[in-house]
Structure 1
Amino acid sequence: EALPADLQQRTRAEHPAALYNLYGPTEAAIDVTAWTCGDWPRPCTPIGRPIANTQIHVLDEQLQPVPLGVAGELYIGGVNLARGYLNRPGLTAERFVADPFGSGGRLYRSGDRARWTAEGEIEYLGRLDHQVKLRGQRLELGEIEARLRDYPGITAAAVILRDGSAGQQLIGYVCGPAAQEEDALRAHLAQTLPEALLPARLLALEHLPLTPNGKLDRNALPQVELAERAFEAPRTSLEQALADMWVKVLGVERVGRQDNFFALGGHSLTLVQLAADIDRRWSVELPFRRLFEHPTLAALATELEETLAVATPLDADLDELDGWLEDLEEMTHE
């Protein structure tokens, strides 16, 4: 299991013993890289450099080395490689490949994403099989999890892709004192991540489920119904007007005050349409960032109400004139 940066820092602060981060898959027992943890903060704990008689390569899909700082798949060579998988020649041929650099040996395809740093260290970035495809975009779940763990008060996080009534959606699971702050967590993610990487729901758990050997058991994460929140009808005319817009752009039957735009299937294109509808109705241009920061109907209505309250008299006059012209047009058609 990867060593989170915050766990490294806490361990170094609380215990006088040295701390080493060792990396190595079973197929290259026992470890193939090592790094001595220091007291200085690092956003990502490196797995270090290759040990003696071991070669580490970070390659692209054409088995070519990638530049410094660019993610690729980690390949392992050296005397510590296994011969293969017992009675599984097909899997052996897939994972143990000929060394493309002319050594005459083999390399093991680890299935792990990694990158070289300018200091000559390797950073582990997650499993390749944790990449998912959502609305035509390839996403790295580990990147979202890392951003969640950056939030003060979050001690652990996991993100998975699940099917729901609104289609495929990202679901996040968080632990820690701040785990209940779903809207604040979403706003935190929106500061550094594109809309496609924002989970539709964030669920608070006491702890993440683990396998017997202590790794995250993604299959044991609890199921969630994306529309499980109790329906709460809009209270004001402004909330109702926004709800009608959401119904139109999202294609849903109804929208409640606490419904989340993205949990109902919203994405970047529907967000553009919503922003245009708001501009046409109230002559107000809400920046996308503010729409991301207020994903529920009630929160967005409050934000819009505050924006309208500071609108200039000219804006108000134009709104009144626009409404008068609409009424006149309806009377003309009648």
Structure 2
Amino acid sequence: VLIEHRGIVNRLRWMIDDLGLDETDVILQKTPYVFDVSVWELLLPGLIGARQVMLRPGGESDPAAIRDTIERHGVTTLHFVPSMLSQYLAAVDDGFAGVRRCICSGEELDRDLARKFLAATEGRPARLFNYYGPTEATVDVTLLRVEDGPGPVTIGRPAPNNRLYILGEDDEPCPVGVTGELCIAGVQVARGYLNRPELTAERFTADPFRPGDRMYRTGDLARWLPDGEILYLGRRDG
């Protein structure tokens, strides 16, 4: 996927501003570099003068290694895919000492897991954030700070300088509460796929609301909620 520098810069600045990251933070780099989450883990600390801690190779699947690294180095910010967060919560006690931000993305975050995290960190400063986005839109384009409450966990609201559309079969915007395909336009949309012009033309199409711009068709189903948040509903292809 051909990502532009401006998309990465927008993605990083958005995260810094929304999460309040600064030079006092210690960010754990635990995602192998072949996965897109590693982009912000690797690049963001240098933008703000934060300290970066490298997890040992293979440690991303070892709850004990993760907890030891958090405690030894005073990690304040780290990422989990939800399935690994579930394993981590089940395997260790008091696994978030000193952590301020736990970031989830890459899989759907369900309400039961969110409640387990909130219970495990009660009385601590740790906060849970749910990000959504494909590599084709520079990794993440929506964010929700997760609080306890009823119903499913949403994917929150769009990042600055991006536009999210939920479109019906005729590419018309779906009303609030109506399910459609989630499409992404704006600064974080990639150029396309390297040496795959047909797939690029299929997935990156003209933005029907901004002449001259393009949008990425995610293939994900979603709907707008009355409060302006987006509820993710899975893939169109099942």
Measured against the shorter chain, the TM-score band is: 0.5 to 0.7
2: CA distance, partners of 1:26 / 1:58: 19
Match of 2:143 among 34, 40, 51: 34
Alpha-carbon distance between aligned partners in 1 of 2:220 and 2:209, rounded to the nearest angstrom: 20
2:153 & 2:230 partners in 1: Cα distance? 9
CA distance in 2, matches of 1:42, 1:128: 25
Question: How many pairs align?
Answer: 129
Paired amino acid for 1:37: V
Residue by residue, what CA displacement relative to the aligned partner does 1:203-227 show, whole Å, maximum 9, x if unpaired?
Answer: xxxxxxxxxxxxxxxxxxxxxxxxx
CA distance in 1, matches of 2:150, 2:236: 23
**Alignment equivalent of 1:66, drawn from 162, 166, 174:** 174
Query: After superposition, what is the alpha-carbon deviation per residue over 1:90-137, rounded to whole angstroms, capped at 9, x for unaligned?
Result: 10000001000134200100000000000000000001110xxxxxxx
Name the aligned partner's letter for residue 233 of structure 2.
L
Matched, 1:118 2:231: no
1:109 aligns with 2:217: yes
Counterpart secondary structure, 1:68? coil
Q: 2:31 maps to what in 1?
A: none
* Per-residue Cα deviation, 1:234-278 (whole angstroms, up to 9, x for no partner): xxxxxxxxxxxxxxxxxxxxxxxxxxxxxxxxxxxxxxxxxxxxx
2:121 equivalent to 1:20:
no
* In structure 1, distance between residues paired with 2:212 and 2:129: 32
Match of 1:7 in 2: 113
Task: Write out aligned runs for 1:187-202 (5 A).
Answer: none
Q: Counterpart amino acid of 2:129?
A: Y
Higher relative contact order (CA 8 A, sep 6+): 2
Distance in 2 (CA, whole Å) between partners of 1:98 and 1:77 is: 9
CA separation in 2, counterparts of 1:81 and 1:102?
14
Residue of structure 1 equivalent to 2:165: 57
Aligned-pair CA distance for 1:69 = 0.6
Q: 2: distance between equivalents of 1:121 and 1:78?
A: 18
| Paired residues for 1:245-264 under 5 Å | none
- State the distance in 2 between where 1:49 and 1:4 align: 17
Give 1 or 2: higher helix fraction. 1
Matched residue type, 1:28: A
TM-score normalised per structure 2: 0.53
TM-score, normalised via structure 1 length: 0.38
Unaligned runs of 5+ residues in structure 1 are 131-334
Residue of structure 2 in register with 1:158 after alignment:
none
User: Residue 194 of structure 2 aligns with which residue?
Assistant: 86
Aligned residues with identical type, % of pairs: 54
Question: What is the deviation of 1:44?
Answer: 1.2
Aligned to 1:164: none
Query: C-alpha deviations, 1:67-87, integer Å up to 9, x for none?
Result: 111110000011111100111
| Residue 95 in structure 1 maps to residue 189 in structure 2 | no
Whole-Å separation in 2 of the counterparts to 1:96 and 1:53: 18
The one-letter amino acid of 2:224's match is: W
- The structure 1 segments of at least 4 consecutive aligned residues displaced by more than 6 Å after TM superposition are none
DSSP-derived class of the 1:19 partner: strand
Pairs within 5 Å for 1:160-239: none
Which of the two has higher C-alpha Rg? Answer: 1
